[in-house]
Amino acid sequence: MSILDFIFYSFIVVVFIQALFYFIFFGRFAFLKQNKSTLQNIPVSVIICAKNEAENLKNFLPSIISQDYSNFEIVLINDASSDHTLEIMKHFAEQNTNIKIVDVKNIEAFWGNKKYALTLGIKASKNEFLLFTDADCKPVSKDWIKEMSSHFNNDKTIVLGYGAYSKIKNSFLNKLIRFETLVTAVQYFSFAKTGIPYMGVGRNLAYTKKTFFNANGFINHIKVRSGDDDLFINQVANKKNTAITFSKASFTESTPKTSFKKWIKQKRRHVSTAKHYKFKHKIILTLFYSSNFLFWILSILLFTLTYNWQYVLGLFLCRLIFQYVIIGFSSKKLNETDLLIWLPFLEIFLIIAQLTIFINNLISKPNFWK
């Protein structure tokens, strides 16, 4: 067998692996209908951990306060901020009796550790059902708490939601950020529906206090600066206890980064947690990302060499078609359909960005949560 034969057959295997991922895993979410949940008025504690977020709290906290839900408190955690975050919190607390402030001071053992601050906030909350978001997030609906909390029941103690990013016109970076967010959501929703949940996002995530304390909180990964959302869910989530919701009223929307440098810094922090995932999750994710990377590398190589180009073109188009179908149905669910026209370009740029982040993380470890 020649080298070109080997490359060609490798390309066939890669396309086959991609087809398995898209139809067996991602198709579970793409073609899923949202079950109607039973609305209930359970007491909920909305928890927001903020570090130097004075302006964001001014802009976005009112959308939490004005939620159409009769039984909730807001726990605001000031994580040793150096700006006016605490003063802004106190201002809102004076006007709203359901706001509780937890003022966290840095201590040597947990210096700059968000998980320590979150743990204090969770302990201070009065309700069993906890709903998490970030200071730079806003619910897109007044029914956010209602939608997220309605998926709790005797079995489902974890609820995974979608945390979108706001759209900025004529910005390729914005499209790339939203595409990466869309692809990540398709993955964690799909794997959850397949029975192997592996992560959630802290911008829109809910679980019970009992789930938190039964797992001894973040103790298993307390020294890892990031991962208060995905590492915790990776640890505690399973087929029986995890629910997802993708009704548009359950979405939150965050302010995206506006420079590649800031976004890469943010993603470096997020990606650094993946090495702490369970082994089976690391294998599955590595296989998907590797097959994605190899699909483009091998197709470009084979097209350049015009080796069996008719077959290569057929396989290439087949893969693009089933990707468009799955991502198309998924993007409609998550209100991101404007990204479809850019799909191949966004995927290539995302692969390059992910490779850059991986190499940077090998060279130096990110040690910040903001």
pLDDT for 369 beyond 50: no
What Rg do the C-alpha atoms of the chain give, in angstroms? 21
Per residue, what are the HEC states of 122-176? Answer: HHHCCCCEEEEEECCEEECCCCHHHHHHCCCCCCCCEEECCEEECCCCCCHHHHH
> What confidence tens digit (pLDDT) does each residue in 181-214 have?
999 999 999 999 999 999 999 999 999 999 999 9
What whole-number distance in Å separates Cα of residue 127 and Cα of residue 159?
16
* Per-residue pLDDT at 21: 96
What are the tens digits of pLDDT across the range 83-101?
Answer: 999 999 999 999 999 999 9
Helix (H, G, I), strand (E, B) or coil at 99: strand
Q: Tell me the per-residue pLDDT of 2-38, one tens digit each, with 9 for 90 and over.
A: 898 899 999 999 999 999 999 999 999 999 987 776 7
Do residues 163 and 250 touch, judged by C-beta distance below 8 A? no
Closest C-alpha to 182, from 167, 171, 195, 197: 167
Four-residue CA torsion sign, 201, 202, 203, 209:
positive
Rounded Cα distance, 174 and 203, in Å: 17
So what's the pLDDT on residue 266? 79
Helix (H, G, I), strand (E, B) or coil at 330: helix
